[in-house]
């Protein structure tokens, strides 16, 4: 199992994020098990629009590096351009957790090194995986969420998040 974060703040972010979930589900070696609500969050970094963020739990038969490659291909499919660190983006897909793996290579660090400090990750992740234990801190996601300020994380109304269902 793997947990990923999804974020967007350029273009039609809701459409992009829902399209990214569809693209993940159509990718060989990836099955979307569950996904969180979408949350409006304040940006980190340079001045830019607010983000929509969420998380998903994936069943994967890919290696961590192959999953990273697949996520980057989906980002590119949705027009992701890397210009500046923490700058605005059409789509951002990050691996947060991969089973209980701890790895640190030049290309990939698991668990995500900033996960435990980011409310925009911990709030949606705790919605779908509250009991998943971060292998570095050895705390549950629900416990990590209690250590950050979540006041800037606003859940979208369910009817707007699920407007295409029914």
Between the CA of residue 3 and those of 7, 45, 121, 143, what are the distances in Å?
14, 24, 10, 17
Rounded Cα–Cα distance for residues 63 and 98 (Å): 9
Q: At what angle do helices 64-77 and 13-25 cross, to 10 degrees?
A: 140
Position 127 scores a pLDDT of 97
Give catalytic residues, as residue numbers. 80, 89, 92, 94
Q: What string of pLDDT tens digits covers the 166 residues of the chain?
A: 999 999 999 999 999 999 999 999 999 999 999 999 999 998 887 788 999 999 999 999 999 999 999 999 999 999 866 665 666 788 999 999 999 999 999 999 999 999 999 999 999 999 999 999 999 999 999 999 999 999 999 999 764 444 434 3
Rounded Cα–Cα distance for residues 106 and 131 (Å): 29
Rounded Cα–Cα distance for residues 118 and 121 (Å): 5
Task: Say if CB 112 and CB 5 are below 8 A apart.
Answer: yes
Q: Which two tokens stand for residue 2?
A: 């793997």
pTM to 2 decimal places = 0.90
Q: Which two tokens stand for residue 157?
A: 């109304």
Domains of the chain are 2-161 (3.30.70.560)
Between the CA of residue 46 and those of 42, 122, 158, what are the distances in Å?
11, 22, 30
């Amino acid at each position: 199992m793997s947990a990923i974060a999804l974020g967007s703040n350029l273009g039609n972010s809701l459409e992009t994020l829902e399209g990214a979930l569809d693209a993940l589900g159509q990718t060989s070696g990836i099955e979307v098990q569950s996904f969180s609500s979408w949350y409006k969050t304040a940006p980190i970094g340079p001045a830019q629009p607010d983000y929509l963020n969420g998380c998903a739990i994936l069943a994967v038969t890919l290696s961590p590096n192959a999953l990273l490659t697949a996520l980057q291909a989906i980002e590119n499919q949705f027009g992701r351009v890397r210009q500046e660190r923490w700058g605005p983006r059409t789509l951002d897909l990050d691996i947060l957790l991969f089973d209980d793996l701890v790895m640190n290579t030049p290309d990939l660090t698991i668990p995500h090194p900033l996960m435990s400090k980011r409310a925009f990750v911990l709030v949606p992740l705790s919605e779908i995986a509250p009991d998943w234990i971060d292998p570095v801190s050895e705390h549950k996601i629900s416990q990590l969420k209690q250590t950050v300020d979540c006041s800037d994380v606003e859940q979208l109304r369910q009817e707007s998040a699920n407007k295409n269902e029914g």
